[in-house]
Every structure is written in structure tokens, then in C-alpha cells.
Amino acid sequence: MAMSINTNVGAMLALQNLNKTNRGLEQTQLRVTTGLRINGPKDDAATFAIAQNMRGDIAGMTAVKTNLSLGQSVVNVAIDAGKAIEDLLIEMKAKSVQASQAGLDTDSYTALNQEFTSLRAQIEAIVASAEFNGKNLINSAATNFDVLSTVDGSTITITKQAIDATTLTIHTAALTDATVAGTALTAISQAIISVSNALASLGSSAKRVDIQTEFTGKLQDILKQGVGNLVDADLAEESANLQAFQIKQQLGVQALAIANSGPQSILDLFSAQPLRL
């Protein structure tokens, strides 16, 4: 091969290989830093697009889980309120039975009626406060509540269950005498049945929401695993590659230095022979 100081082929080849090694080292360092084998479309356009679509599905499911959690809270508040109301109705029934006994004096009826009225007022207070995020399922103005359950827009409908005193027809019940107390007892007994039915309906809806929440979480985990299989880096492999590239880089630098010193040997050709004119 002819020797030239203008064109150093060895240096050019060494530089090309060094640049190639540096690019590989940079890519490996990025994979180690991010933990991802595919960090952008230039790494693998098709796989990156698939992974991005799956990430979009995961984001959508996260929003669905948020809505399901909201639905769980709304229905759980209604259930807890319904249980408290049922307990109060049981107490009211006991007062009604006690007042149904003929022969009680006026003071006894007055005391029983005051307790009865107080319990009913507590029911109304519970109904008014059984609200979560502006939604109340058990007051007289209650409406059905649709809970988003899938990314496709499907919903779970939680049916309203109005169990206020007026709806239960106990708002005028009283214990002023045995006859009136008997009428109140009938109304309270029916109210207990109505509240039990309402709780059964709310419990069924809550179960549906719980099942969908669990399923959505599992589906989300599967998608996350799928994305990981597509784009996650094998850190053991990348660690080995990192060491290999670092060694190649050092050797490349040395090779480039040797190639760059090649033209220096041309001076030896001229210094080895006396200059003749």
C-alpha cells in the first residue's frame, strides 16, 4: 500500500469503528438508564407503536378504575346509611310495640312519642348526609347512578333506593295512644321490609362494582406485563454489553492513535538517508 500524508486510510477506518462503538455504547447506556430496550420509534417503530397503543389502554383502564372506585364509595355510603336507618327503625318498632299496650298513662305516651319522633328525625338526618361527591342514592330526589365500567363506555347502573321517612310512609306516624301506635307499628314493620329490600339491591350493585374493579385491575396488570415484554431491557444482557463496549472503546482509541501516528513513519524514510542534491 502506498504511503501518504494526505490520506490516512487506517485512521479513517479506526475512526469509523470507534464511532460505531460509541453509538453502541450510548444506546446501551440509555437502555441501562431507562430500563427500556425500546425508547422511541427509531429503535423499533412497529413495536413502539404497539406498546404506545397498549399504554393508551392502560391509561384508559386507570380512568375506569377511578370511576369504579367512585361508584364503590357512593354505594357504600348508601349501604352504611341504610344499615343505620334499619337499626333506627328496629328501635322505633320496639317503641311502637311498647305504646300499643293499652292502659298507659298520658305521660308514658308522651315520652314514647318523643323518643319515636327523635328516632325518625335521626333517620332524616342520616338520609340527608348520605352523600358522596354530590351523589345521594337514598333521599327522595335520588336518581339512578351510572358507573363507567369499561374503556368502551359500558356502565353499571346503581338503582336509586329512596328510604327517607316520607317514602317509607312513616313521616306522620305517632305514638299518642294505643290505636295510633298500632297503626305506626304496621307502618314501621313495612318500612323495615322496604329498607331490607333496598339494602339487598344496593348490595347487589356494590358486588357488581367490586367484581368489575377486580377484573379491571387484573386486565391492567396483564397489559402492563405485555408492554414490559415488548419494551423492557434485559439488564443482565445490557450490563455485559456495556462492559464489552467500554473495552472496545478503549481499544478503538488506541487503534486510532496508532493509525494517526502512521504518517510519522514517513519522516523516518527521509531521515534514514542523507539528502543528496
Residues 30 and 151 placed together within one structural domain of the fold: no
Let me know: does 137 contact 130? Beta carbons within 8 Å.
yes
pLDDT tier, 21 (very low <50, low <70, confident <90, very high otherwise): confident
Is the pLDDT reported for residue 3 higher than 70? Answer: no
Is it the case that residue 30 has pLDDT exceeding 70? yes
Q: What is the phi/psi pair of residue 54, to 5°?
A: -65, -35
Residue 220 lies in a domain: yes
Higher pLDDT, 9 or 250: 250
Shared domain check, 267 and 151: no
Whether residue 6 has pLDDT greater than 80: no
pLDDT reported for residue 271: 67
- Residues comprising the chain, all counted: 277
Residues 29 and 91 in one domain: no
User: Do 240 and 194 have their domain in common?
Assistant: no
* 77 or 233: which leads in pLDDT: 77
Residue 153 falls within a domain, yes or no? yes
pLDDT digits (tens, 9 = 90+) for 206-225: 999 999 999 999 999 999 99
Residue pLDDT, tens place only, 116-144: 999 999 999 999 999 999 999 999 999 99
Prediction pTM value: 0.76
- 46 lies in a domain? no
| Position 94 in a domain | yes
Residue 123 lies inside a defined structural domain of this protein = yes
Is 243 found in the same domain as 264? yes
Tally of CB atoms within 10 A around 167? 18
Same domain? 153 vs 266: no
- pLDDT at residue number 149: 92
Residues 252 and 207 occupy one common structural domain = no
* Same domain assignment for residues 219 and 254: no
Contacts 24+ apart (CB under 8 A), 10-19: 10/258, 10/259, 10/262, 11/256, 11/259, 11/260, 11/262, 13/259, 14/252, 14/255, 14/256, 14/258, 14/259, 15/256, 17/252, 17/255, 18/249, 18/252, 18/253, 18/255, 18/256
Give the confidence band of 17 by pLDDT, cuts at 50, 70, 90.
confident
Please give the tally of structural domains in the chain.
2
Do 237 and 109 lie in one domain? The reply is no
Label residue 103 left, alpha or beta by phi (over 0 means left) and psi (-120 to 50 means alpha): left
Least confident of 22-31, 62-71, 192-201: 22-31
Clarify whether residues 202 and 248 are in a common domain: no
Range of the domain at 163: 71-231
What CA–CA distance (Å, rounded) separates 249 from 12?
Answer: 15
Query: Is the domain of 195 the same as that of 240?
Result: no
CA 219 to chain CA mean position, Å: 12
pLDDT confidence bin for 81, thresholds 50/70/90: very high
CATH number at residue 189: 1.20.1330.10
Asked if residue 265 is part of any domain, the answer here is yes
Residue 191 lies in a domain: yes
**170/216 same-domain check:** yes
Q: What is the pLDDT of residue 273?
A: 56
